[in-house]
Amino acid sequence: MEVILKQDVKALGEKDDVVKVKPGYARNYLIPQGFAVIANDSNRKILAENLRQIAFKQDKLKKDAEAIAEGLKDVKLSIGAKAGESGKIFGAVNALQVAEAIKKLGFEVDRRKITFETDVKFVGEYVANVNLHKEVKVQVPFEVIAE
């Protein structure tokens, strides 16, 4: 019996996969639990339409991410922070401060998508890794200056 999975099932498949299972497993577990539906013609058409719409949305998200990456490619940010005479910052520069600096340039980037290779605790130059999409990543250099 073939079923279409509505969500990921361990050791069976991922969401929207069409898998072949024994009829008892489908009737007694997968379908009653809401993990799958029977793979008949109408459900296959619905699946095909859903996959087409998902692909269109993913393509649009990727194009938007590429546009932002193109804009951030040649940018160098400057972030001010209070620092002591030795150049050590009081606290640290975090992703929120980098996201706000990018926002001032006109690009909207979620702070949770910004990572650093090292902790930013001294005045100097660093690189922020911005993951805009699973296939689109850009490195944005920034400089921490003492205020």
If pLDDT is split at 50, 70 and 90, which confidence band does 74 have?
confident
- Which CATH architecture describes the domain 2-64? 3-Layer(aba) Sandwich (3.40)
Instruction: Give residue-wise pLDDT tens across range 5-16.
Output: 999 999 999 999
Distance of alpha carbon 80 from alpha carbon 146, whole angstroms: 6
pTM: 0.69
Question: Is 2-64's fold the same as 71-146's?
Answer: no
Output b/e per residue, 110-123; b: 16+ Cβ within 10 A.
eeeebebeeebbbb
CB 99 within 8 A of CB 113: no
Specify which residues 126 forms β-bridges with: 142
Distance of alpha carbon 2 from alpha carbon 7, whole angstroms: 15
CATH classification code of 71-146: 3.10.430.100
Instruction: Give residue-wise pLDDT tens across range 89-132.
Output: 998 899 999 999 999 988 889 999 999 999 899 999 999 999 99
- What are the residue boundaries of the structural domains of the chain, listed by start? 2-64, 71-146
The CA–CA distances, whole Å, from 103 to 68, 100, 127 equal 11, 5, 17
